[in-house]
Amino acid sequence: MSAEAIQSRREWLLSDRPASRLQAKLGRAYVAWRRFSANRLALVGLLIILALVVVAALADVLAPYSPTVGDLKNARLLAPSAAHWFGTDDLGRDIYSRIVYGSRWTLYVVILVAIIAAPIGLLVGTVAGYAGGWTDTILMRITDIFLAFPKLVLALAFVAALGPGIENAVLAIAITSWPPYARIARAETLTVRNSDYIKAVQLMGASPFRIVLRHIMPLCISSLIIRVTLDMAGIILTAAGLGFLGLGAQPPLPEWGAMIASGRRFILDQWWVAAAPGAAILIVSLGFNLLGDGLRDALDPRSGDQ
Amino acid sequence: MSVAENQAAAGRGSARAVAILSSLGRFLVVAVTTYLGLLAVTFFIGRVIPIDPVLAVLGDRAPTAVVERTRREMGLDLPWIEQFYLYVKAALRGDFGTSVLTTNPVMSDIRRVFPATIELATLGTLIGAVLGVPLGVLAAVKRGSLIDQIARIIGLIGYSVPIFWLGLLGLVLFYAKLQWVAFPARLDVVYEYTFTPITGFYLLDSAMQGQWDVFYDAYRHIILPAALLGYFALAYISRMTRSFMLNELAQEYIVAARAKGLSETRIIWGHALRNAAVPMVTVIALSYASLLEGSVLTETVFSWPGIGLYITNSLTNADMNAVLGGTIVIGSVFIAINLLSDLLYRLLDPRTKVG
């Protein structure tokens, strides 16, 4: 493509009189992307998350050994080497292969928590904000109550009652993490609920249900995405903590937190058993934090540097 | 002062009093509903989620007559709203039932282990605040400089690292390799029998009794977990301090102070930091609350006999009374700190309009 073609495409994207909805949308996305990609750390974060997705998708190709069946006879607690990059654990399993497969469980947890918690928060927040009055008071009181709870301890109690397991850990984390989303959605709803376009839709006879669903919720999405991305690291750390305490994923699942727990017994002599999965958690959480910061700066310029 | 001015001052005074009263009232309403909410959730977890609490106590081989009797004794034949009422009443008395594991009332167990957690979290918050506030201030003043970058990296890693993993690495390095700190416990075994704690805060107790060898030993045991918690507090406190300070430094009174010829040191530490003090208190209180909660993981790693270890030990033994009692105690303290710091913020900051 010639330089002029690129130039004219850029002009088309940045045009202040877009001829179609598509052009307007693409133009806005382009502006946001330019702001986002100017931030090198945010790009690093994006790369880490993309790498996580790729590793999870190609785990069968990338992992040289089975994640669950080890060589008990010959390969117990071997130090890192060319054959086993991160060493082996007490059951003779290759730690690198387990970490590669563990990426799937990390993605599983964050995606499920986001899918459960974000819509709950969105629904509670928009309904409270649009309805106002008693509905608002009651819903926000409940939100505040949940917001004041200690998340980890409550998740712990939930899992203790539901029984250990990765599904219950996801449920427990989701139950404790929706309130901030409700707060954000309500704040966004309050800023638009008295605007002219909502009044216009009301005059056209749209039902409150339709207004909330079609005209208010879409406006809350971008701040919600930023907040969810920023929360991802916390979700990963809580899930890993539950796994470490033996309440999350159960053996032989290669979940990173549970891997650290099993490496704890050998920490003084075979430190690599616990070291590698912890480093994996650190890198992925760091990725989500960098990505979240970058998205916030790109999509929400109001918050600026703080 | 003229009559009119007097009246105006009295009016302002009473408006202030009304504002204070209304924020106290709001505080009470919020505190009561939040605490009731916490009890409702733990009640739900303890009574509704497990298929049958009787089964959990007796096992599945008990004869029907015994099951029926136990069900009545546990009050499970009552309507659930009445059960909840009894539950709240018992919880307000501090009665969380008996621990299956230790056979003691849960509350007396918690009273025994809680000082260890408080001691650890307090020292951790102190470390975090003493280092985090100056770091945040410097990062804001020299924005974009090397120290700002370092503060940012410290903060990012603090938000991203699993605390239990960092604790394990700390043990490998400082205990096993360098031998700077003692093994995971509160005291060496020798002192466990010769030392009688008074308050349960070992550093304080040993210093009060003049047993400096015990003090040094307690210090060698607490310093690593406390430093670890301190790091997490530091990550949060320095980030928030930086943001508050940036906000203050952009205000016009800073320009005015510079125009008056005040030294930079005085402008930064005397004026800007003082104005940021109120939200800072809130931040430090919140980080204290989150360290109390985070004790569950840290105490497991360091075998620290506090409430976190108590909860996790009870978890592995399916001791639900102890788990829920511990959850309620940590939850209550967490809620109290949260709401008190919010109240403090409203009362101290004249800009927060009340009512």
pLDDT digits (tens, 9 = 90+) for B31-75: 898 899 889 888 888 776 655 666 666 666 777 777 777 777 777
| A44 close to B (CB below 8 A) | no
pLDDT, residue B49, reads 62
| Contact between A156 and B159 using a beta-carbon 8 Å cutoff | no
The pLDDT score that the predictor gives to residue B7 is: 59
pTM more than 0.90: no
Q: Which two tokens stand for residue B146?
A: 């090397």
Residue B157 at interface with chain A, using a CB cutoff of 8 Å: yes
pLDDT (mean) for B219-237: 92
Contact check, Cβ <8 Å, A148/B335: yes
Tell me whether A172 touches chain B (CB under 8 Å). Answer: no
Confidence of residue A305 (pLDDT cuts 50, 70, 90): very low
Select the residue of A148, A157, A260 nearest B327 (Cβ to Cβ): A157
Beta-carbon separation of A275 and B312 below 8 A: no
What integer pLDDT is reported at residue A1 of this predicted model?
57
Whether the predicted pLDDT of B100 surpasses 80 = no
Whether B171 sits inside 8 A of A286 (CB atoms) is no
Choice among A54-58, B193-197, B287-291 with the minimum mean pLDDT: B193-197
Least confident window among A120-129, B99-108, B228-237, B323-332: B99-108
- Enter the tokens of residue B348: 């101290």
A with B: how many residue pairs have Cβ under 8 Å apart?
138
8 Å CB contact between A257 and B312: no
Q: How many residues does chain A have?
A: 306
pLDDT computed for residue B352 by the predictor:
55
pLDDT computed for residue B351 by the predictor: 61
3-state class of A35 per DSSP? helix
Contact: A278, B162; criterion CB under 8 Å:
yes
CB B347 within 8 A of CB A162: no
**Exposed/middle/buried for residue B124 (C-beta within 10 Å: 0-12, 13-18, 19+):** buried
pLDDT greater than 60 at residue B5: no
Percent of chain B with pLDDT over 70: 91
Query: Are residues A139 and A127 in contact, defined by beta-carbon separation less than 8 angstroms?
Result: yes
B41 burial class (0-12, 13-18, 19+ CB within 10 angstroms)?
Answer: buried
CB of B176 less than 8 A from some CB of A: yes
A118-122, B39-43, B231-235 — which is least confidently predicted? B39-43
A190 touches chain B (CB under 8 A): no
pLDDT surpasses 50 at A249? yes
pLDDT for position B127: 95
Give the per-residue pLDDT at A124: 95
Confidence of residue B9 (pLDDT cuts 50, 70, 90): low
SS (HEC) of B284-345: HHHHHHHHHHHHHHHHHHCCCCCHHHHHHHHHHCCCHHHHHHHHHHHHHHHHHHHHHHHHHH
Q: Would you list the DSSP string of B121-177? A: HHHHHHHHHHHHHHHHHHHHHTTTSHHHHHHHHHHHHHHHS-HHHHHHHHIIIIIII
Contact assessment for residue B159 and residue A233, using Cβ atoms and an 8 Å cutoff = yes
Is residue B273 scored above 50 in pLDDT?
A: yes
pLDDT of res. B90: 87
Q: Give the per-residue pLDDT at B354.
A: 43
| Mean pLDDT to the nearest integer, B242-260 | 89
Cβ proximity of A59 and A103 under 8 Å: yes
Contact flag A241-B162 (C-beta cutoff 8 Å): yes
Nearest CA of chain B to the CA of A143: how many Å? 10
B238 CB neighbours in chain A (<8 A) are: none
A69-83, B7-21, B287-301 — most confident range: B287-301
Mean local confidence (pLDDT), A193-216: 89
pLDDT at A302: 54
Q: How far apart are CA B163 and CA B269, in angstroms?
A: 32
Q: Does any CB of chain A come closer than 8 Å to the CB of residue B204?
A: no
Say what the pLDDT of residue B3 is.
Answer: 56
List pLDDT tens digits, range A159-187: 888 888 899 999 999 988 999 999 999 99
The total number of residues shown for chain B amounts to 355
Give A175→chain B minimum CA distance, Å. Answer: 11
- For residue B142, is pLDDT > 60? yes
Q: Is A240 in contact with B162 (Cβ distance < 8 A)?
A: yes
Where residue B316 falls (left for φ over 0; alpha for ψ -120 to 50; beta otherwise) is alpha
In this predicted model, what pLDDT tens digit does every residue of A4-51 receive, in sequence order? 788 888 888 888 788 888 888 888 888 888 888 888 888 999 999 999
Using CB atoms, which residue from A144, A156, A158 is nearest to B296?
Answer: A156
Q: Is the pLDDT of residue A304 over 60?
A: no
How close are the terminal C-alpha atoms of chain A, in Å? Answer: 40
Select the more confidently predicted residue: B181 or A243: A243
Contact residues, B window 276-295, toward A, CB-based 8 Å cutoff:
289-290, 292-294
Could you report the per-residue pLDDT of B286-325, keeping only the tens digit for each? 899 989 888 889 999 998 999 999 998 888 777 888 888 9
Residue showing tokens 């210093």: B207
pLDDT of residue B45: 83
Residue B235 is predicted with a pLDDT of: 93
Q: How confident is the model at residue A74 (pLDDT cuts 50, 70, 90)?
A: confident
Residue tagged 């990725």 (tokens)? A287
Give me the residue label for tokens 């990550």: B235
* Nearest-angstrom CA–CA distance, A240 and B296: 13
Give residue B119's pLDDT.
Answer: 92
Q: Is A248 on the interface with B (CB under 8 A)?
A: no
Q: How far apart are CA B298 and CA A22, in angstroms?
A: 52
Is A157–B323 a contact, with Cβ atoms under 8 angstroms apart? yes
Query: Nearest-CA residue of chain B relative to A284?
Result: B160
Residues 133-152 of A with CB under 8 A from B: 141-142, 144-146, 148-152
Instruction: Specify the DSSP element, H or E, that contains B279.
Output: helix B277-301
